[in-house]
Structure 1
């Protein structure tokens, strides 16, 4: 089979031939039909001290099962988070991470909706939204952000502000349901909001905090780091919550499953739609990474083996 690999930090991505892996206890072997590209994985290539397998969201058909793989059967279509080599024709997926892809949905739909949607929905839940409140979503055109904009509206936001890095993304974000679009470089992002979902971090944490109304809530779910001053919280009685999807998946699987079902129900009802920036072949993995790293994507970036 083919898989994508790199040999040194920041080194080029390349295709190599590798044996098809065999599933171990509790594992599934999946023929990959779609692989989601995420910023954390892109950052691993540029920042990890040693090369690591390129994993992430995969979707496809189960072609083999290991002992104790639960109810999953050969021929099932599943999606889930792969911690090994996922940029490949075949990948091993732990059965506990696998969830079914409904009939009528494509593998691309699955990798664009499920993991990114779970992060967006989880971050939104952490903000404790109430109907009629106003929301700010940073990275509003990203794989997670474009779903967060829609989910905020579904959960009753009366006003949604989408913050982006490039004015060329404004029409896309408005089409998702945002009332206004703000640029990171702007001095003001408009009227204060009740809660903000930040996927960028770093220097953007402070302006996201400033954008909150008194008593506002900021949910930070970026891997980009950043620092918040305690005084900035005290002066407006504001709060910051860190959200991590892995913790929910590990410690609250019933909640993870409920959110997953809700996403598919919203998708099936047309209340949430996925946007795919591009479908790239495995040999185009470097181009896919570039789209995410430069934040030029509108929606999800997907590899299609």
Structure 2
């Protein structure tokens, strides 16, 4: 089968197509014939050797993972409830930039037949992260939400989900004007330019001086530090990634937390393993919202495997509106 791999860390051009053996599923695993795989910032960090997760222990040559949609092509021992031909999605750290990928059956979610593969690739990972951070932040109806990187893969879904959940005001951050327009188009009431040195003051002004009740932060670094100060009394900040490239959480003064402010982290795997019933309910809810068209997954580009380097370049330039997807 064809797969995109890299033999050393470096720029996007280290990615190249190679022939690899078709993987066989082991106990508790299934193999998926890939229809689409979503490319995320985490994979660009892995390629550059700056991904912080302790489970990332690659052996070269590496085939990157991601959000995959396809059909089960083989089922390993000890797997029940799944059969060849089932249309499914899954998130995996390895092996997804390929025509076939093996994943743990426990991570698989059903994908409705009527959903376009590239759009449905949001379901197993990116979309569930957006839903999960809102759950972790305990969004209540009428509250104000600040979504950082509101034109990105997680961000544009989070804006729509916050709106569907009854948020009173949804504010986004984004860079260039096209991204700000896109974030407004998917449901943000206002979008501020995160490159402005006064972005936090602009957000505070938009909230009447109170600050947001909930901040969704996948950027980190100084953005997180400023976010803690910006929160309304009783506000919550949910941190779920470091697309800004800084892996250390900045120093936060305890005085900034005195307003009964809460900062927590979110990881999709922790949600699935730690709160399985809530996770399953989230999968069902997101599937319904996507199938009903209440939430729409924006696909910026659909690229063949041979153009994986271009996909990474788009993300690192922050040039995408929504998501970039590879089609084997």
Q: State the TM-score, normalized to the length of structure 2.
A: 0.88
| Paired position in structure 2 for 1:189 | 202
| 1:9 is the counterpart of 2:9 | yes
Please give the alpha-carbon distance, in whole angstroms, between the structure 2 residues aligned to 1:75 and 1:161: 42
| Paired position in structure 2 for 1:206 | 225
Please give the alpha-carbon distance, in whole angstroms, between the structure 2 residues aligned to 1:301 and 1:232: 41
1:94-243 aligned within 5 A: 94-186=104-196, 187=198, 188-190=201-203, 191=207, 192-223=211-242, 224-225=246-247, 226-243=249-266
Flag the 1:18–1:234 CA change in 2: closer, same or farther, 3 A.
closer
| Paired position in structure 1 for 2:313 | 290
Please identify, of 181-190 and 277-286, the stretch whose mean Cα deviation from structure 2 is larger: 181-190
CA contact (8 A) 2:114 2:291 kept: no
Please give the alpha-carbon distance, in whole angstroms, between the structure 1 residues aligned to 2:121 and 2:28: 22
> Alpha carbon RMSD of aligned pairs, Å?
1.7
- The correspondence for 2:285, drawn from 259, 262, 272, is 262
Please identify, of 102-111 and 170-179, the stretch whose mean Cα deviation from structure 2 is larger: 102-111
Measured after TM superposition, the shift of residue 137 of structure 1 is 0.1
Measured after TM superposition, the shift of residue 254 of structure 1 is 2.3
| Paired position in structure 2 for 1:92 | 102
**Structure 2 regions of 5+ residues with no counterpart?**
51-56
| Paired position in structure 1 for 2:303 | 280
Number of residue pairs the alignment of both structures matches = 305
Measured after TM superposition, the shift of residue 109 of structure 1 is 2.2
Please give the alpha-carbon distance, in whole angstroms, between the structure 1 residues aligned to 2:88 and 2:183: 29
Measured after TM superposition, the shift of residue 232 of structure 1 is 4.6
| 1:66 is the counterpart of 2:50 | no
* Local SS of the residue matching 1:193: coil
Show CA shifts across 1:70-90 (max 9, x none).
Answer: 111111111001233110011
CA contact (8 A) 1:59 1:78 kept: yes
Please identify, of 227-236 and 288-297, the stretch whose mean Cα deviation from structure 2 is larger: 227-236
Flag the 1:266–1:228 CA change in 2: closer, same or farther, 3 A.
farther
Flag the 1:72–1:9 CA change in 2: closer, same or farther, 3 A.
same
1:236-251 aligned within 5 A: 236-251=259-274
Please give the alpha-carbon distance, in whole angstroms, between the structure 2 residues aligned to 1:16 and 1:185: 39
Please give the alpha-carbon distance, in whole angstroms, between the structure 1 residues aligned to 2:202 and 2:272: 34
Show CA shifts across 1:120-142 (max 9, x none).
Answer: 11111111111111110001011
CA contact (8 A) 2:108 2:124 kept: no
Please identify, of 140-149 and 104-113, the stretch whose mean Cα deviation from structure 2 is larger: 104-113
Please identify, of 192-201 and 46-55, the stretch whose mean Cα deviation from structure 2 is larger: 46-55
* Local SS of the residue matching 1:273: coil
CA contact (8 A) 1:198 1:205 kept: yes
Q: State the TM-score, normalized to the length of structure 1.
A: 0.95
Measured after TM superposition, the shift of residue 252 of structure 1 is 2.6
